Homo-oligomer: A and B are copies of this chain.
Amino acid sequence: MVIRVTVWNEFRHEKLNSKVAEIYPQGMHEAIAAYLRRDPDLRVSTATLDEPEHGLTEQRINETDVLLWWAHIAHDEVREEIVERVYRRVLAGMGLIVLHSGHFSRIFKKLMGTSCDLKWREANDREILWVTRPGHPIVQGIDDHFILAGEEMYGEFFDIPEPQETILISSFSGGEVFRSGCTFTRGAGRIFYFRPGHETYPTYHDPNVLRIIHNAVHWAAPMTPPKPVAFGKREAGWLD
């Protein structure tokens, strides 16, 4: 079955900061999408904040099996009705992959039920990501750890509910730690949070990071298209 993937990006830093534009000339979404398009089982498109309806029309969402979400400085500009639209689709079975600073997006906070707050520092920390669930589909092909030479630091406490599975834990030069790869289920939808990806580093060109995102797309995809679940009044039970 073909998996329909939409890579959503705020797409602001790339226009405002020449350093970011140099690393991602087409935007971070295109760096990720280009990698995913090499897989013939994926049909990949992109969407960004400043498109009409943020590029996430009712039809577009209804034709998306897995949505990726990167955002940072404009969480408040995402309209409530679009958040609601994405939310309902996740509960019906769409996969959602939330990247890096997307931890503070409306959609992620709404699905977690917590503040999603954390500690942070921009100081070119070295990040080591350790695999804490070998054999999980999301870390197929990944060694027992890998290293990013420079990244923003995120530190615990990360205010999320206890994850269903903690797949990756990072350490940073400063001695901090962070649960960097976490899975959750909401309704029929699977969610993966993946930490790395600060805009001023070439993280989305790193082969391990791209491999994990690719694996996660396959893991999060519903087996059949998302559809409503049975709820409501039940007239007759067995003995009625």
A166 to B162, Cβ gap below 8 A? Answer: yes
A130 to B113, Cβ gap below 8 A? Answer: no
Q: Mark A159-184, 1 if CB is under 8 A from B, else 0.
A: 10110111001111111110100001
User: Does A133 belong to the interface (CB within 8 Å)?
Assistant: yes
A157 to B230, Cβ gap below 8 A? Answer: yes
- Chain A: residues with CB nearer than 8 A to chain B? 91, 93, 110-115, 117-121, 123, 125-126, 128, 130-137, 140-141, 144, 153, 155-159, 161-162, 164-166, 169-177, 179, 184-190, 222-224, 226, 229-240
Cα-based distance from A123 to B238 in the complex (angstroms): 13
Partner of A187, one of B93, B114, B165, B237: B114
A119 to B155, Cβ gap below 8 A? Answer: no
A235 contacts across to B, CB distance below 8 A: 121
- Nearest-Cβ distance from residue A130 to partner chain B, whole angstroms: 5
Contact A175 to B237, CB < 8 A, known contacts A156-B169, A184-B161: yes
B123 to A174, Cβ gap below 8 A? Answer: no
B114 to A153, Cβ gap below 8 A? Answer: no
A189 to B135, Cβ gap below 8 A? Answer: yes
B111 to A175, Cβ gap below 8 A? Answer: no
Cα-based distance from A226 to B140 in the complex (angstroms): 11
